[in-house]
A and B are shown apart, each in its own frame.
Chain A
């Protein structure tokens, strides 16, 4: 079957790629475009490791067809830092030791960015429910939630 040409924007830059009709966006990002920061943990939308934003909306890229990205804006973990320094969310994840093995971290950082754009001042419960789609098996979430709330404070200019 002929490949489908897709024109899209990834982390602010235009990107073209060819994909198969049944290919997921996760596979296109990882296998076609070399953006392996987005991880595959389940391929059924249950673990959040492949979280990206599509036109600003948080989605599991394993449940999006690559062809659906036509004309859309994609945000991945590779675009979270601005090229010269870390995003406050990344910095707070490091400071709070909010990662152990790190495989869930890219998805959590993308999801946290989406959370804080929507809700710059989440309560602990709001953060926990928003991130409930991002599984972490190592940390028990304690340090992740602390990092998220601290990053929110820092982004509001209330850095401790």
Chain B
């Protein structure tokens, strides 16, 4: 693990930023004290259970709750009919937009069920067993329809239509009449056909990836209490308490002022906890019963009805000159949206060509509904699928050209001043630095063993800014509290405390970071888009600077001088210009006298950066394939990524390692398997095979620091980029190990054996 630094911001001498303190919430998390979604119990609390559709595609003709309501212990029941009628339209949700009508219909089906496991009704009873028994007594009359289980079928002329009467939107030409295509996007630059004609080498192919789940270990959970005056207190595991509040308000048409959302500790999300499933149901059940209601999903429910990310079919074609210069690129990207519109196809169209300079390109993206769970955000949504296609094609191109794959990328990589394929001009970025660091890494030069192959792949993610606020207050002992509104999903309390400590000039242990509920902290957009350390960190810097203004004024009061004669230096007020004979006052000295110099010291600040600095990464993977069984083992893996400035390097490395591990799982093992009726066949961790400790080697990291000009410290978001390169990196390694280009994820042993057998003929 090494750090490299360059640039002006890099020359700032940091005292706390870049150190590795023990995270403030760590103690509670290693002792079992930390409270996650399912850990809350309230007096009088009752338990909810959801009835889910046994069909992947059906019309609901009638729901009869009468027998269920008569069962012992039952306090309340709800169906989709309990939701108010609302119109379509977009509401912002972090990086994406959500259609509130679809959101509502996904939470509890209305009229139709669109996937196996789609919620149909819910019961609350005194015990969970009673609720389960009562659920069995709900009578639902379904008209079963043909399930649409593949992109081919969804696009067929005679395909059953999931949303009758709904028109495709986007860039023409759009399909006319009823369609399962919900959106079409397209973009182009230059003369693509002429570009391909001028190419010396052209590669093209389809690259398919299966639907995969975020795989957070904590199932969704909530406890909702409602009051006689209409107020609702919501406790839940979420990536954004303010997002939950606005989604609840819209789906239930409740005055947001009545809703308070307290985020529990969150046991993983990866984008999957940026939306809501349980909270409105629990709220309605609580209103009907007058009791606090707890709803916790089982793992099976998590798989069947939350997440996942899109399965995709992407055709990619690339053309290059003999010297490796790219001349043209073309792609068609088909994304499974699940039962409702809203795959991350849009982000895929923007990222697919973003890492390289293509003189000409053309792209088309389709958002396609079919009878699988409605997809949710998953870490750099859409980008890994797009990168899988394009980075695989680049590898094939390198093989055809007889070029080193890193050299080929270096020849075409974007740098500062280049215009990104999606529009804007790149500011300072670190892609070239990452490629060079990978090229010079000992891993890249190490010899390979028998049946081994080495792959490289690159990845890009925008990162986002958005709205954040922070409050910094000073205690009378000179310690500080920093309050923000972003659930801490991977160490962000530590980065907020480090940031405040850096500004105030006090030890990080003297800062307590706090994540508040929607009533106790200022608005923050959700924890997503790799935005917290970047944007919320900027709010902490601004609030800390305001606190320092107060501290200078208090020192001036104590010294009886002008505030201009007081400087804040290394955690102390230092007198200048006529006040320099005063002994410097530490933060603790000033804090002790707060009550006599003007009262408590506290400041809040908010930011709304319209952009963030993009992140680039380059991964290297060595894989060994057993030619007898097709089993592949990752034997060595290195992640190189530009972090701008690593605030807490251990948690930056952790993001790089975690993203790589998820990507390796997606590439080799993880996939949704459906039977012909559309029922997921592997809704558990035994059969949905995520990486376990014995599947992986150590994951080496190289943190590059090319400062982001948009952030005072140079920070870039780091959370999402690391899942972009692995699909292609692992695919390229495996393809080189067996001498056959792989086109389908996951690359399970049967698929690898098939490829080996086909090659043998």
Q: Is B685 an interface residue (CB 8 A)?
A: yes
Interface pair B219/A143, CB less than 8 Å apart: no
Interface pair A102/B267, CB less than 8 Å apart: yes
Interface of A is mostly: loop
Question: Of B36, B491, B651, B685, which one neighbours A135 at CB under 8 angstroms?
Answer: B685
Question: Of A77, A100, A145, which one neighbours B651 at CB under 8 angstroms?
Answer: A100
Interface pair B32/A128, CB less than 8 Å apart: no
- Interface residues in B214-270 by Cβ distance below 8 A to A read 214-219, 265-270
Interface pair B32/A37, CB less than 8 Å apart: yes
Complex-state Cα separation, A80 to B32, whole angstroms: 10
Residues of A within 8 A of B660 (CB): 140
Q: What 0/1 readout, one digit per residue, does chain A (89-111) give for beta carbons within 8 Å of chain B?
A: 01001111101111111100100
Q: Is B577 an interface residue (CB 8 A)?
A: no
Residues of B within 8 A of A143 (CB): 650, 653-654, 657
Given known pairs A36-B39, A101-B216, the reply for A94 and B654 (CB within 8 Å) is no
Q: What 0/1 readout, one digit per residue, does chain A (132-143) give for beta carbons within 8 Å of chain B?
A: 111111111111
- Interface residues in B687-705 by Cβ distance below 8 A to A read 690-696, 698-699
Residues of B within 8 A of A128 (CB): 693-694, 696
Given known pairs A97-B654, A141-B696, the reply for A102 and B39 (CB within 8 Å) is no
Interface pair B693/A131, CB less than 8 Å apart: yes
- Interface residues in A106-149 by Cβ distance below 8 A to B read 106, 109, 124-125, 127-129, 131-146
Complex-state Cα separation, A76 to B266, whole angstroms: 21
Given known pairs A102-B34, A140-B699, the reply for A94 and B23 (CB within 8 Å) is yes
Residues of B within 8 A of A20 (CB): 129
Interface pair A140/B298, CB less than 8 Å apart: no
Given known pairs A41-B299, A44-B686, A137-B662, the reply for A94 and B692 (CB within 8 Å) is no
- Interface residues in A50-104 by Cβ distance below 8 A to B read 76-78, 80-81, 86, 90, 93-97, 99-104
Complex-state Cα separation, A84 to B401, whole angstroms: 65
Complex-state Cα separation, A127 to B693, whole angstroms: 8
Given known pairs A40-B219, A140-B699, A142-B657, the reply for A99 and B30 (CB within 8 Å) is yes
Q: What 0/1 readout, one digit per residue, does chain B (643-659) give for beta carbons within 8 Å of chain A?
A: 00000101101110110
Complex-state Cα separation, A36 to B41, whole angstroms: 10
Residues of A within 8 A of B129 (CB): 20, 22
Interface pair A102/B265, CB less than 8 Å apart: yes
Q: Is A8 an interface residue (CB 8 A)?
A: no
Interface pair A97/B23, CB less than 8 Å apart: yes
Question: Of B32, B216, B268, B655, which one neighbours A38 at CB under 8 angstroms?
Answer: B32
Q: How far is the CB of B624 from chain A (nearest CB, A)?
A: 15
Interface pair A101/B31, CB less than 8 Å apart: no
Interface pair B23/A46, CB less than 8 Å apart: no
Residues of A within 8 A of B268 (CB): 100-101, 103, 137-138
Q: Is B684 an interface residue (CB 8 A)?
A: yes
Q: How large is the interface on B (under 10, 10 to 19, 20 to 34, 35 or more residues)?
A: 35 or more
Interface pair A47/B685, CB less than 8 Å apart: yes
Q: Is B490 an interface residue (CB 8 A)?
A: yes
Complex-state Cα separation, A57 to B544, whole angstroms: 50
Q: How far is the CB of A95 from chain B (nearest CB, A)?
A: 7
Q: How far is the CB of A67 from chain B (nearest CB, A)?
A: 16
Determine the residue in chain B with the shortest Cβ distance to A22.
B129
Question: Of A36, A94, A97, A139, which one neighbours B32 at CB under 8 angstroms?
Answer: A36
Interface pair B693/A145, CB less than 8 Å apart: yes
Interface pair B686/A46, CB less than 8 Å apart: yes
Residues of B within 8 A of A77 (CB): 31-32
Q: Is A42 an interface residue (CB 8 A)?
A: yes
Q: Is B759 an interface residue (CB 8 A)?
A: no
Interface pair B217/A144, CB less than 8 Å apart: no
Determine the residue in chain A with the shortest Cβ distance to B221.
A40
Interface pair B654/A86, CB less than 8 Å apart: no
Q: Is B38 an interface residue (CB 8 A)?
A: yes
Residues of A within 8 A of B654 (CB): 97, 100, 138-140, 143
Interface pair A76/B696, CB less than 8 Å apart: no
Complex-state Cα separation, A99 to B23, whole angstroms: 10
Residues of B within 8 A of A101 (CB): 216-218, 265-269, 489-490
Complex-state Cα separation, A100 to B655, whole angstroms: 9
Question: Of B30, B219, B269, B298, which one neighbours A86 at CB under 8 angstroms?
Answer: B30
Residues of B within 8 A of A47 (CB): 217, 299, 685
Determine the residue in chain A with the shortest Cβ distance to B28.
A102
Query: B interface vs A, CB < 8 Å?
Result: 20, 22-23, 25-27, 29-36, 38-39, 41, 129, 214-219, 265-270, 296, 298-299, 489-491, 648, 650-651, 653-655, 657-658, 660-662, 684-686, 690-696, 698-699
17 intermolecular pairs with C-beta atoms under 8 Å apart = A30-B39, A40-B296, A41-B217, A42-B299, A44-B299, A44-B686, A46-B684, A93-B30, A97-B653, A99-B30, A100-B268, A102-B34, A106-B32, A138-B268, A138-B658, A140-B696, A143-B657
Q: Which 6 A-B pairs have the closest CB atoms?
A: A37-B32, A103-B267, A140-B661, A102-B29, A97-B650, A46-B685
